[in-house]
Amino acid sequence: MENLYLKPESAAALIVIASIALIAALLSLKKLYDVKKRLQHVSRVLDDIAAGNPNNKVLASPKDLTANICYQLNDIVSLYQQQIITLKQSAEANQQLMTSLSHDVRTPLTTLIGYLDAAHKDIVVGPEREQYIETARLRAHDLKEYVDQLFEWFKLNSSEETLVTENVEVAELTRSTLMDWVPVFENSGLEYDIDTPEGPLWVHLDSGAYSRILNNLVQNVLMHSEATHITISVVEQNSKMLLLVGDNGKGIAGRDLPYIFERLYKCDKSRARKGSGLGLSIVQQLVTRLGGTIAVQSDPNLETKFFVQFPLI
């Protein structure tokens, strides 16, 4: 029968190995316990977030085994919070838009019906009746313009609007777009200077979108500036095409300048019935989608200038 006697040094080695194994097992159990507690904490935080408290966070030390997971969960929660804020802002903006739509459509529509009823029922006769009919016609045009801008804004903010870009000679396009405005300037007594280069300027853009940009900037001057003079020019500047639309009207207050491209923003609250508050927002969206930039400078009661730039080909 073999001798099972162990030498003292062998026995000591076994005791050390057993001790190390025991300590390792205990440490593993502690780590498992810590991980379990951490996961329970994560579960409670997620339940709290699901219950409507998105501001809660999963706390973790960089040394924790679950630190990376906790940090990723916090990033997801932060993104979730931002999406909620964006959705709330969008819902509030849409509610504001619908409120503005209701007011801005119903008011001129009611006025329009009133003038037409007066003329139809012979409440007014002769020259006064003709004046009522003319006023009704102008109100109808204002209403159509508002509806057109609203429709364009909705198209720009949906998947329905597709811009088809191509190489366009923008000097000639500017001249042809402004031809329709010259009679309007003359009928309204607005002095005008139009300056476009004789040589071609080629830009890669959607010609219809460019015309809408120019039309909206001109319309903005006519409706809001109370100007007596408008300047429109196209020049080449630093390998870019620069469109300038300026006027000598009442200008824009410094406090309003940062917000004029926001939808529904109207600088002059006392004149809120004029315009949809969408024109400049549409301009900015079109310029951005065409790869250009837009800026504005204004000295109240002196001048206002809008600058639109596109890269030349």
- What's the pLDDT tens digit per position in 246-262? 999 999 998 999 888 88
Q: Where does the pLDDT of residue 273 fall: very low under 50, low under 70, confident under 90, or very high at 90 and above?
A: very low
Please list the residues that pair with 233 across neighbouring strands. Answer: 195, 244
> Which residue shows structure tokens 């309204």?
188
Tell me the chain's radius of gyration from C-alpha atoms.
34
Please list the residues that pair with 307 across neighbouring strands. Answer: 244, 295
Between CA 219 and CA 206 the distance in angstroms is 20
Residue 295 phi, psi (nearest 5):
-145, 165
**141 vs 250: which has the higher pLDDT:** 250
Q: What residue segments make up the domains of the chain, in order of their start? A: 12-83, 101-156, 166-311
Note the pLDDT of residue 161.
Answer: 67
**pTM for the whole thing?**
0.60
Between CA 236 and CA 310 the distance in angstroms is 10
Burial code (b: 16+ CB inside 10 Å, e: under 16) for 221-242 equals bbebbebebbbbebeeeeebbe
Angle at the Cα of 62 from the Cα atoms of 61 and 67, rounded to 5 degrees: 80
Note the pLDDT of residue 38.
Answer: 67
| Residue 127 pLDDT > 60 | yes
Which CATH number among 3.40.50.10860, 3.40.50.300, 3.30.565.10, 3.20.20.80 corresponds to the domain 166-311?
3.30.565.10
- What's the pLDDT tens digit per position in 52-67? 776 777 777 777 766 7
Burial code (b: 16+ CB inside 10 Å, e: under 16) for 144-180 equals eebeebbebbeebeeeeeeeeeeebebbebbeebbee
Mean pLDDT of 230-240: 95
Query: CB burial class (10 A; 0-12, 13-18, 19+) of residue 256?
Result: middle
The helix-helix angle for 170-179 and 207-220 (nearest 10°) equals: 50
